[in-house]
């Protein structure tokens, strides 16, 4: 057995075919190409232990962040590692804190990256690339593979599997409003896209309070307000404290009365009922409550995004004695800061934004009441700062009480202490854990039976590394061969081309300098530079709608890829598939106006295998025009698509199509649920490129970039029929 890269006690998490879940404490060991877990430490009592289960790590493996899960009162952060080509091979592990889960996730992804860079297959031949320890950690959204639930003891039961598929590739559940069927007022949606400026309105309790100054039509009767402050604590601790909705929240959030869970959508999205504690003339002003969707995400730089938006839910109707407020936009961003000079204590920048309509006639007659209430909510950052200044440690993540009529019904003279307490992980004693583990191990321990064919010799053999051969690749500079002139008037897609600044319901080509890519010295100083001219030219964009997911559109008759092939041009098509009550596909066709240099990154991407493509295809998103909640949910961090969502590749004679299934990612589904109703107000930029990992592959060059401006869902066309 070689020296482990990482090891430690974690929880083995899963669900059996009969629907019974299990939650075992196991010792996990990660080596260079094998992940395994044991019932005890591998060399306990001086004898090597046989792993209960192991998984070979190769380029087809994927790390799935399932977010928060609960089991018998336990709240844990779940991580799943599986092989996309062998669905039955899966190991699901859980950690009590997000720090532990993030550490394992980061190391696992680095190991997969090293395997990918260590072996590359081009045209049936295996070329080995030099390994580098300098990997940039790109943001990889958590995802749920459309067929990720394999067979065997790791599988969820059939009902749970159908539920996960319904929340993932089959579209959003009923609890989350489907943005594709929204009929919001278009004028209001366009207003959401107006640029926003912020004006400092006051400084109070060590915080700065800002008010929105929209450059355009006002988006709402009430403006967005935000507060910014510095908290002397780590991002992880602040995140866990904000996510908790137990009695601890009374110590730092003056606007919190009580909260309860309505529905868990997935590990990153849930629906909550929240009763506000208002102190502005409580005798005359009725209490306010909220029903909202909460979505969270952890970025690989250690920052967090927590977003809120109001939702209607059949299990959370308006309550007697309360006025249902409407949270139009809100949430927190938590970013790490450098420690103060001479002090190693962590610091974080916390920003909270609130745009809320408190409803009711009293608020309209007393405009100062609204501002006072919003500032009361934003002052929670000051509460966080004071709470951590006392040296307190956030309690373990607790299971939020499920919403019941007794919890939500207002009662006169009710005190906060009468609110039912949440169940803590620490409330279950160690003896109870041992009893539960023993019962499961004795009755149904088939998942922990030693695998006879896994021996120490085979285990060690899996660690053997292939001989490294350095292969120098040509630069991606434009070829000296003459470019091909394109007659764009003869090749068009279903979506029209428009002006880059003022266009609406159209596509355009943004300046490539808006995107920052790895520079030539990235491996030395991690520097980035504005991108140069794209290697390929955007020919056309298709916008389709159908009752089922649309795959391999480039082969259909009349597609721009077929038209370009007739002119002798090679095309790379990106088919972005969006689930919903109806399925949408937006296809970007990039053509090579100059021959692709043999041996270049783009050539290796086109001719390589799926493992190489998944590890290198990168997307850089940007939202130059959109509301705060949309910009925060989408972000602007580069994303390795093969790690974030399912990508399927179709290689034709003169094209390569990449089908990007947005529905395979739980995080992406959460984003879709948050931005519904404002899709026609957004301006979104996307740049596609192949990531460079060695000095010879730098600087990076864009395949191409596209801007989509204020898209109309009704403009989607029916795709051409498939060839018989």
Strand partners, 202: 209
Residues of the chain with CATH 3.30.530.20: 200-407
Residue 389 has pLDDT above 60, yes or no: yes
Mean pLDDT of the chain: 77
Q: Rounded mean pLDDT of 659-685? A: 77
Note whether 39 and 64 are within 8 A (CB): no
Residue 16 binned pLDDT confidence (cut-offs 50, 70, 90) = low
Query: pLDDT tens-digit profile of 210-262?
Result: 998 876 666 677 888 999 999 999 999 999 999 988 889 999 999 999 899 99
Q: Rounded mean pLDDT of 325-330? A: 91
Residue at token pair 């192949």:
690
Note whether 707 and 684 are within 8 A (CB): yes
Residue 84 has pLDDT above 60, yes or no: yes
Nearest to 644 by CA among 661, 623, 627: 661
Helix axes 235-243, 380-389, angle to 10 degrees: 120
DSSP string, 496-538: PB--TTT--SEEE---GGGSEEE-TTHHHH--EEE--S-SSEE
Note whether 252 and 229 are within 8 A (CB): no
Query: pLDDT tens-digit profile of 34-78?
Result: 999 999 888 777 677 889 999 998 888 888 888 888 766 668 899
Residue 622 has pLDDT above 80, yes or no: yes
Q: How far apart are CA 66 and CA 241, in angstroms?
A: 20
Nearest to 178 by CA among 672, 640, 519: 672
Note the pTM of the prediction, 2 decimals: 0.68
Residue 640 has pLDDT above 80, yes or no: yes
What percentage of residues in the chain have a pLDDT greater than 70? 71
Strand partners, 686: 621, 706
Residue 157 has pLDDT above 70, yes or no: no
Q: How far apart are CA 270 and CA 276, in angstroms?
A: 18
Residue 129 has pLDDT above 70, yes or no: no
Residues of the chain with CATH 2.30.29.30: 6-174+447-461
The domain 6-174+447-461: what is its CATH number? 2.30.29.30
The domain 200-407: what is its CATH number? 3.30.530.20
Q: How far apart are CA 714 and CA 34, in angstroms?
A: 49
| More confident: 191 or 487 | 487
Dihedral sign for Cα 548, 549, 551, 555, please: positive
DSSP string, 166-230: HHTTT---TTS--GGG----HHHHHHHTSEEEEEEEEEETTEEEEEEEEESS-SSSS--EEEEEE
């Amino acid at each position: 057995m070689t020296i482990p890269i990482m090891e430690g006690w974690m929880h083995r998490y899963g669900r059996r075919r009969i629907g019974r879940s299990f939650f075992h404490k196991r010792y996990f060991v990660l080596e260079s190409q094998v992940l395994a877990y044991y019932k005890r430490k591998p060399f306990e009592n001086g004898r090597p232990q046989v792993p209960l289960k192991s998984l070979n790590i190769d380029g087809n493996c994927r790390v799935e962040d399932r977010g928060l899960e609960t089991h018998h009162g336990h709240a844990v952060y779940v991580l799943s590692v599986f092989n996309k080509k062998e669905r039955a091979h899966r190991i699901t592990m859980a950690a009590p804190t997000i720090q532990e889960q993030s550490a394992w996730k980061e190391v696992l992804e680095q190991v997969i990256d090293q395997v990918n860079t260590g072996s590359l297959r081009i045209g049936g031949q295996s070329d080995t690339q030099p390994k580098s320890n300098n990997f940039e950690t790109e943001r990889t959204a958590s995802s749920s593979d459309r067929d990720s639930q394999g067979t065997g003891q790791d599988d969820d039961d059939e009902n749970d599997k159908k539920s996960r598929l319904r929340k993932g590739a089959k579209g959003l559940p009923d609890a989350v409003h489907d943005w594709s069927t929204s009929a919001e007022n278009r004028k209001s949606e366009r207003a959401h896209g107006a640029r926003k400026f912020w004006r400092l309105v006051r400084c109070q309790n060590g915080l700065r309070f800002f008010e929105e100054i929209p450059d355009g039509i006002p988006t709402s009767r009430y403006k967005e307000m935000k507060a910014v402050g510095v908290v002397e604590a780590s991002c992880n601790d602040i995140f866990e404290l904000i996510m908790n909705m137990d009695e601890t929240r009374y110590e730092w959030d003056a606007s919190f009365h009580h909260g309860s869970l309505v529905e868990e959508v997935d590990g990153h999205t849930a629906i909550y009922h929240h009763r506000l504690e208002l102190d502005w003339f409580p005798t005359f002003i009725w209490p306010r409550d909220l029903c909202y969707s909460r979505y969270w995400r952890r970025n690989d730089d250690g920052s967090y995004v927590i977003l809120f938006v109001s939702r209607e839910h059949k299990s959370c109707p308006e309550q007697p004695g309360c006025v249902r407020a409407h949270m139009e936009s809100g949430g927190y961003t938590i970013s790490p800061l450098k420690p103060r000079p001479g002090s190693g204590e962590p610091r974080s920048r916390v920003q909270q934004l609130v745009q809320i309509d408190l409803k009711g006639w009293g608020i309209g007659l007393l405009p100062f009441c609204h501002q006072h209430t919003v500032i009361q909510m934003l002052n929670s950052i000051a509460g966080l700062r004071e709470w951590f200044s006392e040296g307190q440690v956030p309690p373990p993540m607790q299971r939020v009480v499920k919403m019941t009529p007794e919890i939500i019904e207002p009662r006169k003279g009710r005190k906060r202490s009468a609110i039912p307490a949440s169940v803590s992980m620490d409330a279950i004693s160690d003896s109870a854990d041992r009893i539960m583990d023993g019962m499961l191990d004795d009755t149904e321990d088939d998942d922990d039976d030693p695998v006879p064919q896994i021996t120490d010799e085979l285990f060690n053999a899996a660690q053997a590394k292939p001989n490294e051969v350095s292969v120098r690749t040509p630069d991606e500079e434009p070829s000296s061969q003459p470019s091909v002139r394109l007659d764009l008037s003869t090749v068009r897609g279903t979506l029209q081309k428009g002006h880059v600044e003022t266009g609406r319901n159209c596509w355009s080509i943004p300046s490539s300098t808006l995107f920052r890519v790895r520079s030539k010295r990235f491996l030395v100083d991690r520097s980035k530079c504005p991108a140069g001219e794209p290697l390929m030219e955007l020919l056309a964009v298709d916008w389709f709608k159908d009752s089922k997911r649309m795959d391999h559109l480039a082969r259909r008759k009349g597609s721009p890829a077929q038209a370009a092939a007739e002119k002798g041009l090679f095309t790379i098509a990106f088919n972005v598939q969006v689930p919903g009550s109806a399925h949408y596909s937006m296809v970007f066709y990039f053509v090579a106006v100059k021959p692709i240099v043999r041996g270049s990154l783009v050539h290796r991407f086109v001719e390589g295998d799926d493992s190489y493509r998944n590890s290198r295809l990168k997307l850089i998103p940007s939202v130059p025009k959109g509301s705060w909640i949309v910009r925060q949910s989408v972000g602007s961090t580069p994303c390795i698509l093969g790690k974030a969502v399912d990508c399927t590749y179709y290689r034709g004679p003169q094209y390569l199509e990449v089908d990007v299934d947005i529905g395979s990612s739980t995080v992406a589904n959460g984003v879709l649920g948050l931005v519904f109703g404002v899709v026609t107000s957004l301006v979104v930029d996307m740049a596609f490129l192949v990531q460079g990992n060695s000095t010879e592959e730098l600087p990076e060059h864009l395949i191409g970039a596209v801007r989509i401006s204020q898209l109309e869902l009704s403009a989607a066309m029916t795709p051409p029929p498939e060839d018989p």
